[in-house]
Homo-oligomer: A and B are copies of this chain.
């Protein structure tokens, strides 16, 4: 396994040091404990904090900035951050209005964010993202949080920027999360630096349907097929879950898992768009690219969010982070 790396133990910090320098206009990075914070936090707002294991970049560190997260706490690759990271991040960016944590539904993340919330001196609420429909709703460990997290963080981030209350943001975040569903497909496993090899191996004629962003087993190992057939299966699974009606407005997010080309992602977007267009569902907003990756996994996920007018307005609101940008004026690239 070849990677640009010096040592497994120093990878995260060396990478964060580069991130801090490349985006010095937007963020500051603390290393002990580790968190990325927005350079200038708007006063009087609820602080939005997320985090999770590294290896999914740009999620979450790439979403710290104006109109989105106030801080993100990266754990080691595929490893939950610790409560002291969330606590330190909250102390750095939170004011009287409290903290909203946005947490992907994994046991370690949930436990550590809960511990941080208990130790915190200010009010806090948590939005749990569990958009991965690979597992049934009633599964004992619940559904995983995957690419839909970006949609939750963007929409809630815009509302926080408007000065909305903690309870308001919690309600909004839950609404976005409940209206969001994702499904992923892997064409290959990914290479975790600490393991030195692939998380799993797929024969040349197989795909992992419903894969998680750490290479978790999905619904089944299926036959490799044409893009049309694979995407049809993905969108039908999402459609069955969310059941958007004719005339409904939705956001369609096609996310690359790491090693899949933009050409393919736009092709997947085209096929998914065509499906919902035929169903009479309006693709009102779109996002295509690598936003929630699984290291160097070849594969992609499709995410759909049922939108209401408020969610559309908040999606369109200005954002300026390392990885997601629109609508701000007079913003240099990294001056």
Residues of A near any B CB (own CB < 8 A): 2-6, 11-12, 14-19, 21-22, 54-55, 57-58, 62, 77, 187-188, 204, 207, 224, 226-228, 230-231, 258-271, 273, 283-288, 290, 293, 295-296, 298, 300, 315-316, 320, 325-335
Contacts A316-B333, A326-B333 given: A21-B263 contact, CB under 8 Å? no
B329 and A270 form a contact (CB under 8 A): no
Given A4-B260, A4-B268, A269-B22, decide whether A287 and B57 contact each other with a Cβ distance below 8 A: no
Complex CA gap A288/B58 in Å reads 11
A325's nearest neighbour on chain B, judged by CB, is: B325
A334 surroundings in chain B (CB, below 8 A): 285-287
Q: Contact at B15–A266, with CB atoms within 8 Å?
A: yes
User: Could you say which of B11, B286, B327 contacts A330, with CB atoms under 8 Å apart?
Assistant: B327
Residue of B nearest to A193 (CB): B263
- The residue from B62, B273, B298, B332 contacting A316, defined by CB atoms under 8 A apart: B332
Chain B residues lying within 8 Å of A265, measured Cβ to Cβ, are 4, 18
Q: Measured between alpha carbons, how far is A231 from B6 in the docked complex, in Å?
A: 11
Interface of A is mostly: mixed
Partner of A258, one of B4, B62, B261: B261
Q: Assess the A22–B286 pair: CB atoms within 8 A.
A: yes
Partner of A298, one of B228, B263, B296, B329: B296
Can you name 25 A-B residue pairings with CB atoms under 8 Å? Answer: A2-B224, A3-B260, A3-B261, A4-B227, A4-B267, A6-B227, A6-B228, A14-B267, A15-B270, A18-B270, A18-B271, A22-B266, A22-B288, A54-B263, A55-B263, A57-B262, A259-B296, A285-B334, A287-B333, A316-B333, A316-B335, A320-B326, A325-B326, A326-B328, A327-B331
CB-CB nearest 4 A-B residue pairs: A18-B270, A329-B329, A18-B266, A259-B259
Known: A4-B187, A6-B267. 18 other contacts (CB 8 A): A2-B187, A2-B224, A4-B227, A4-B260, A4-B265, A4-B300, A6-B226, A11-B263, A14-B227, A14-B270, A14-B271, A21-B270, A55-B261, A57-B263, A58-B262, A285-B333, A287-B334, A296-B298
Determine the distance from Cα of A300 to Cα of B18 in the docked complex, in whole angstroms. Answer: 15
Complex: how many Å from CA A289 to CA B217? 29
**A267 near B326: Cβ-Cβ < 8 Å:** no
Contacts of A269 in B (CB 8 A): 18, 21-22
Q: How far apart are the CA atoms of A328 and B318 in the complex, in Å? A: 10
**Alpha-carbon gap, A141 to B218, bound state (A):** 49
Give the residues in chain B near A293, CB-CB below 8 Å: 261-262
Cβ B330 vs Cβ A21 within 8 A:
no
Cα separation A142 to B330 with both chains bound (whole Å): 39
